[in-house]
Structure 1
Amino acid sequence: MLKKSFIALLMVSGLCLGLFLWLKSLIPQPDQDFSQTQPGELRYLKQKPSQSRGKVLVVVTSSGIMGASGKATGYELTELARPYYVFLANGFGVDIASPQGGQPPVVIDRDDLGPFDYAFLNDPQAQYKVNYSIPIAQASAKDYQAIFFVGGKGTMFDFPNNTSIQVLVRDFYRSGKVIGAVCHGPAALVHVRMETGELLVAGRRISAFTNEEELFLIPDAEQHLPFLLEDRLRAQGAIMQPGPAYLEQVSVDGQLITGQNPWSTWQTVERMVEAMGYTPVPRQVTPAEYTVELLLAYEQGGFAQAAQKLQQLNSDQGTEIDRRLLAMHGVVAAMRWELGKTLDLLRLLRRSKK
């Protein structure tokens, strides 16, 4: 009996190893090193309008510990770096603020970084602004055209009850200025009340990090976070507009523009530029964005529609799929025991290999 169990274990291990090696063969190793990218190398920034359009205030968390868990947290680098350059490219100056001021804690996932993110890390001016961030209590809405709240789990601890943030948001809203937030950034909005006593988010269409996304990554999140963001927004009367997990979803409700997760960052900020009355300057779509388009096609129409979308992407000059991201979604589906979806995504992954 023991011998049979041992043989079965070896067979299962062999199958898992074979699947891993096959999956690895479909995911190319990065052939470009972006770690030395300089801001001057971003052609996107060369389109910057000659005349300034004013300034945008970008707000990051000062909280570096995730509650009683003791786990490190902070703001998400990608959710700061990409908006920073989108605003600059579209003619806006950028100031960076945080609840405490000074150098805020940052979360850096090297696997997610692209040219914009490394350029931000190598940009002396950007680094000065973030390392010497303005204390939020010293910021005034009259100096800015818009305010944008960067995500990161730290925001759950120091955004919701910060009275300076609440005053700023109320002043921006009352002045008809644009308010944006992405991922956990909408935590800044949950307790904001207008002069009438009405909650800002009540009856407003909102996208933010969902319970599904939160609890998949951290099953015991309710023990470590003050609240689940989706639950609190719903309780405050927000009309939540969740999209598929870990894919792009943006809600626009007048001057209030919110994105669900990191993959919604580009569109959230470009919608803010539109809300300020400008057409966003052209930007080369990233491989991750093309992959998100493909995955959204799958969510909307199954394998057939996704395969058609992939064929179109493969035939278009200059498009590139992030096969690592596609594989990650396949792994997530497998972890959820969505075996049909797992197989479909693996088929798409195989077809995407040019």
Structure 2
Amino acid sequence: MSKKSKKFRVLKWIGLTLITLILLIVGFGVWFMSLIPSSDKTIKNTTVNDLTYLTKNRILKDRGKILTVVTSIDSMGISGKSTGYELTELSRAYYVFEANGFEVDVASPKGGKAPVVIDDLGPFDYAFLKDEKAKSKINNTLKLTDIKADDYEAIYFVGGKGAMFDFPNNKSIHKIVKNMYENNKVVGAICHGPAALVNVTLNNGLPLIKGKTISSFTNKEELLLIADAKTIFPFLLQDKITAQGANFNEGEMYLNKVSVDKNLVTGQNPWSTWSIAENMIQQIGYKPKTRKITDEENAINVLLQYHKYGKSKAKEMITTMYNNNKPMNRVLFAEHSIVSVMKGEIGDFYNLLGLISFAKKVQENN
């Protein structure tokens, strides 16, 4: 066989191999997308009046006010990447507080309109964006220097990467948090929000968080998404919290985890928002109003079951949920399968694909 003929055969083999790989990848992509339900476009039209959690069995008692605090920073340090507060971490907590009889104020270090990050929206978030009262508050946030701690029953620090830059050294935050904590009022913070707590010193001279059980956005979560986070941020939040003597309470990546240490309530990431808000209500002294658990929360509970007990137990939970007409957000399963690939955990990737497929079949049979 001539060299020219051999070369042709090799090129033909390479070409056929590439075509086969492309077809396999495309086929996998089509199959993967078939597991994920089409987005419900009507959700975008949700208004406050559509939220029965807010409109039915309203708690009309005036239980006082809760202050929510968002960042004023719109870029991540030297990286120049845009940032702000996480809308979902504000909107969902905002409505939990309102539904439980509290008036909600929104403040920021600079006051005025605060920068926002908008993603992973659900019905409550879309309603919030159309809520004229809420829009007025986020477009005209109160300035922290004008805040009087005595006016509030609790304070809640919303996350968002901007919080890493203007929360830790803000003297007004230190003063308000110290006052409220030492007067047994509830202090809450979620995701990057606990950056507000790291430099607060109590009257006894000790750091507020020393010896306390704290949850926040973790090093693993931060570095998986931003490989150069150590150079972009003034510090990694988990490292700072641990260095000040706190007991860092870490949960599974990108899943709900909340820590309650008396009147200090902290959450790990955006998926902890519902839980942290309701835990704050409980620590203030009230039983949280009954709320229909969202499809996202149901998916989170299945993922937690999977990580704790394995695939079989997760499948049992999926079956039970669908049999009881509890909706489930399969998109979250898909997102976590991608996270597993980013972490190099291929076994989890295949297991999670299996759970998505199983959930689809169970749903179709119900």
TM-score of the aligned structures, taking structure 2 as reference length = 0.94
- Which of 260, 265, 273 aligns to 2:281? It is 273
Contact 2:216 2:269 in 1 (8 A): yes
- Which of 290, 296, 302 aligns to 1:288? It is 296
Spell out the pairing of 1:129-144 with structure 2 (5 A cutoff): 129-144=137-152
Q: Secondary structure at the match of 1:118?
A: helix
Q: Supply the distance in 2 between the matched residues of 1:8 and 1:213 (Cα, whole angstroms).
A: 37
Q: Supply the distance in 2 between the matched residues of 1:67 and 1:346 (Cα, whole angstroms).
A: 37
Partner of 1:208: 216
Q: Supply the distance in 1 between the matched residues of 2:132 and 2:349 (Cα, whole angstroms).
A: 43
- Say whether residues 1:70 and 2:80 are aligned partners: yes
Q: Secondary structure at the match of 1:179?
A: strand
- Say whether residues 1:322 and 2:322 are aligned partners: no
Spell out the pairing of 1:171-186 with structure 2 (5 A cutoff): 171-186=179-194
Contact 1:48 1:88 in 2 (8 A): no
Q: Supply the distance in 1 between the matched residues of 2:216 and 2:47 (Cα, whole angstroms).
A: 31
Contact 1:50 1:91 in 2 (8 A): yes
Deviation at 1:48, TM superposition (A): 2.6
Deviation at 1:340, TM superposition (A): 1.4
Deviations 1:66-122 (A, max 9, x none): 00111100000000100110000000000000000000000011xx11111011100
Q: Supply the distance in 1 between the matched residues of 2:58 and 2:281 (Cα, whole angstroms).
A: 13
- For the pair shown, the structure with the greater C-alpha radius of gyration is 2
- Say whether residues 1:312 and 2:320 are aligned partners: yes
- Say whether residues 1:11 and 2:8 are aligned partners: no
Deviations 1:313-335 (A, max 9, x none): 12112x11101111111111122
Partner of 1:117: 125
Deviations 1:135-176 (A, max 9, x none): 011111100000000000000000000000000000001110
- Which of 339, 344, 347 aligns to 1:337? It is 344
Partner of 2:168: 160
Deviation at 1:192, TM superposition (A): 0.5
Q: Secondary structure at the match of 2:21?
A: helix
- Which of 258, 263, 268 aligns to 1:255? It is 263
Partner of 2:245: 237
Q: Secondary structure at the match of 1:352?
A: helix
Identical columns (%): 49
Q: Return the letter of the residue paired with 2:96.
A: V
Q: Return the letter of the residue paired with 2:39.
A: P
Q: Supply the distance in 1 between the matched residues of 2:131 and 2:40 (Cα, whole angstroms).
A: 23
Q: Supply the distance in 2 between the matched residues of 1:48 and 1:253 (Cα, whole angstroms).
A: 29
Higher mean alpha-carbon deviation, 83-92 vs 338-347, is at 338-347
Q: Supply the distance in 2 between the matched residues of 1:179 and 1:336 (Cα, whole angstroms).
A: 33
Greater than 6 Å deviation, 4+ residue runs: none
Q: Secondary structure at the match of 1:58?
A: strand
Q: Supply the distance in 1 between the matched residues of 2:49 and 2:234 (Cα, whole angstroms).
A: 41
Deviations 1:15-63 (A, max 9, x none): 2211111010111112342222221221111233121100000000000
Deviations 1:192-236 (A, max 9, x none): 111222000111000000001001111111111111100110111
Return 5+ residue gaps in structure 1 as ranges: none
Count of aligned pairs between the two proteins = 351
Deviation at 1:8, TM superposition (A): 2.7
Partner of 1:26: 35
From the superposition, tell whether residues 300 and 141 of structure 1 become closer, same or farther in structure 2 (CA, over 3 Å): same
TM-score of the aligned structures, taking structure 1 as reference length = 0.97
Deviation at 1:311, TM superposition (A): 1.2
From the superposition, tell whether residues 79 and 215 of structure 1 become closer, same or farther in structure 2 (CA, over 3 Å): same
Q: Supply the distance in 1 between the matched residues of 2:201 and 2:249 (Cα, whole angstroms).
A: 21
Q: Return the letter of the residue paired with 1:31.
A: D
- Which of 188, 193, 197 aligns to 2:201? It is 193
Coordinate RMSD, CA, aligned: 1.0
Q: Supply the distance in 1 between the matched residues of 2:246 and 2:344 (Cα, whole angstroms).
A: 32
Q: Supply the distance in 1 between the matched residues of 2:282 and 2:214 (Cα, whole angstroms).
A: 18
Q: Supply the distance in 2 between the matched residues of 1:30 and 1:70 (Cα, whole angstroms).
A: 32
Contact 1:181 1:259 in 2 (8 A): yes
